Chains A and B, each alone.
Chain A
């Protein structure tokens, strides 16, 4: 018994459950951001484990840009219902009414309005003092500097140069009125851990993560999904074609690229993820540019 050890996935699981429970113990009104992606699936699964046999003591919040894949909306509604969670969906209706889109306004402005703007408004409306997010430190170099408990000022902004030291597993949840905290229970998970855990726990994910023949636009090195009604997004000379592909990372339709793949099962995806030479966020147009993630995070983006 004394020699018993946890595998690294079980260590990560236990650490995440500890974090999730600390937040519920220390905050008045937490909420869990749910983005429908694989990391959200894992985070939600961990939250269910944390409070079993009780139901989740907080709601899920999906900040919807309106640009998600149809498969994502279907999956969201089915998955959330199947685990018995309460889901709140919020949109930046103003920006959507004004026709905000990445092609006409640029990716940065579109994300700023639909994601960051939508998120900050939803957090304010719900009067949440803590919001769980599924971001991981291995995703991007400015995220590597993020704390597990990350304080946001009244404007929802992050000051990366002035972060509280985080010692041992003692989290300081003290905040002033108006401040809030973003909590990242998956901080120490890598993309590989997520896949291994999804496999181990048999957690459902959006089918877009598995390879299938899909109608795609090939633009430079990017593979962009084509759906009916997207004809106006085509550039001169572009023609949608069927491509065997899958998504490593899911965001909005116009800004999520796919990769060519034959991986149709979780085992095949695990093998492919292990052999990958390029990071999963490479297919996310939002991250490109020198400081783009850090700048967005300072503004309040996840």
Chain B
């Protein structure tokens, strides 16, 4: 425990790391997060008191750590996690945003949600049960969503007498599986979330493990993705036209830089029109900038008066431009109640633009148990597969592997307005 000392970062210079935790039912995800919150003082005494079983319980083993994160009454009634919960904790080195995702099969859509923004994932495996089908499914999804780092926490080591062989077997099975899933950076740690072994404190029960604790690992993962070294992409969210007495003719393009860098004077191409201009100014409330990089929100003005509107994309003329095509092939996680079939129509939302789309082909569905590609007439809730979409007009996208921001899209049901699909451009 951190005791009374303040171990919170007071600096405003620290970095942010986004995490997702996944695992099967009862692997102890919520307990692990509760443990991280308690040990980094991310949870307060009164929040702990609200979930303490016995009044005055002092040790965290007596606190129901899972109750800290299961925020909905239905979850506490059923003792399960239904929905993604976001949790926040910090160390002197880093701030963490953690999405706690349910492991129940019917809630896989929530896991995709949590993983979509994560730089790193923690997969929980119960040491007693080993690698479960859900574990493989989740690992597959993390690979699909291109989560940079994957940490496997083999939990409940206290319940297998801290047995090294049990741990080694699980690790070798997972390593073999991960190499097939495009997960390259795999780190394994034996822990007991309930007792705290190897979470924030090194375990004295497992002298055979010489790696870092989970918290030290999380602090040292590279948070630096290569988003700045990718080509410049600037989806225009809005056009800024104050039309005030002081700024009668001002025309700025507002957006968040999705990737890359830009400088005043850079030659710019507007998509889809293909018109060319130069960056006149990079405007912010705090003053104009000479250069800007992802993921900054800025306003860009151009040297020429061009017709640019929401959904257009500014790219640098000296770099490769994203494709503009009316057909797109995507890896899809289906999260709608109604199944997806060929000829179904949806709205695709991609960056700041939307267009109608028709499913032209289901290339394959992924059998979630064998992870083999199989023929399918439809995708139902929680299915994964690859589909081709025909778009009402061309969209400018990169492949998801190359660029998360310009390679991701969602499908919206035109009748219910619900988000029904999470797509990653192949």
Contacts and interface: CB of A to CB of B under 8 A. Distances in A.
Nearest to B246: A53
A137 interface: yes
B117 A2 contact: no
B261 interface: yes
B14 A278 contact: no
B72 A294 contact: yes
B234 to A, nearest CB: 12
A25 B238 CA distance: 6
B298 to A, nearest CB: 9
A144 B85 CA distance: 5
Interface string A262-292: 0000000011001111110010000000110
Interface string A39-71: 000000000111111110000000000000000
Contacts of B297: 13-14, 17-18, 21, 49-50
B277 interface: no
A261 interface: no
Contact of A170 (B8, B335, B408): B408
A145 B102 CA distance: 12
B229 interface: yes
A52 B285 contact: yes
Interface string A186-201: 0110101100110110
B8 A274 contact: yes
Contacts, number: 203
Q: A interface, how many residues as a size bin?
A: 35 or more
A274 B14 CA distance: 15
Contact of B88 (A11, A163, A169, A188): A188
A241 B210 CA distance: 58
B82 to A, nearest CB: 6
A168 B97 contact: no
B188 interface: no
B263 to A, nearest CB: 9
The secondary-structure label for the interface of chain B is mixed
Contacts of B241: 54
A285 B112 CA distance: 37
A49 B284 contact: yes
A144 B87 contact: yes
A167 B283 contact: no
A1 B285 contact: no
Interface string B374-414: 00000000000000000000000000000011001110100
A169 B405 contact: yes
B8 A25 contact: no
B417 A22 contact: no
A98 interface: no
Interface stretch (A105-113, A120-128, A172-180, A209-217): A172-180
Interface string B43-72: 011110000000000000000000011111
Contacts of B349: 170, 172
A142 interface: yes
Contacts of B84: 145
Given A142-B72, A190-B88, A1 B419 contact: no
B12 interface: yes
Given A17-B256, A172-B349, A165 B422 contact: yes
Contact of B68 (A137, A141, A196): A141
Given A25-B352, A144-B85, A161 B74 contact: yes
B83 A170 contact: no
B73 interface: yes
B285 A141 contact: no
A22 B296 contact: no
Contacts of B166: none
A164 B416 CA distance: 11
Given A279-B46, A279-B47, A48 B285 contact: yes
Interface string A214-249: 000000000000000000000000000000000000
A152 to B, nearest CB: 13
A296 to B, nearest CB: 12
B65 to A, nearest CB: 13
Contact of B417 (A8, A14, A176): A176
A166 interface: yes
Q: B interface, how many residues as a size bin?
A: 35 or more
A52 B298 CA distance: 10
Contact of B295 (A14, A138, A196, A294): A14
B72 A2 contact: no
Contacts of B8: 192, 274-275
Contact of A11 (B16, B44, B255): B16
B254 interface: yes
B350 A6 contact: no
A5 B408 contact: no
A145 B71 contact: yes
A161 B70 CA distance: 13
Given A5-B15, A141-B47, A164 B10 contact: no
Contacts of A54: 240-242, 244, 247, 250
A168 B254 CA distance: 19
A50 B224 CA distance: 26
A63 B172 CA distance: 59
Given A7-B15, A55-B242, A18 B44 contact: no
A142 B71 CA distance: 5
B86 A137 contact: yes
Shortest beta-carbon contacts, A-B, top 9: A141-B71, A54-B242, A8-B16, A174-B417, A17-B297, A279-B44, A49-B285, A52-B285, A274-B8
Given A4-B293, A166-B113, 18 more contacts: A1-B261, A1-B293, A3-B224, A4-B228, A7-B13, A18-B297, A21-B254, A49-B284, A52-B284, A54-B240, A138-B88, A141-B47, A145-B86, A168-B410, A170-B409, A172-B349, A279-B46, A282-B46
Interface of B: 4, 6, 8, 10, 12-16, 41, 44-47, 68-74, 82-88, 90, 94-95, 97, 109-110, 112-113, 116-117, 223-224, 226, 228-229, 237-238, 240-242, 244, 247, 250, 252, 254-256, 261, 283-286, 291, 293, 295-297, 299, 310, 335, 347, 349-352, 404-405, 408-410, 412, 417-419, 422
29 contacts: A1-B228, A1-B293, A4-B228, A5-B223, A7-B13, A12-B16, A25-B310, A52-B284, A53-B250, A53-B283, A54-B250, A137-B87, A144-B71, A145-B86, A163-B83, A164-B418, A167-B116, A168-B404, A168-B410, A170-B351, A174-B347, A190-B88, A196-B10, A196-B12, A200-B12, A271-B6, A271-B10, A275-B6, A279-B47
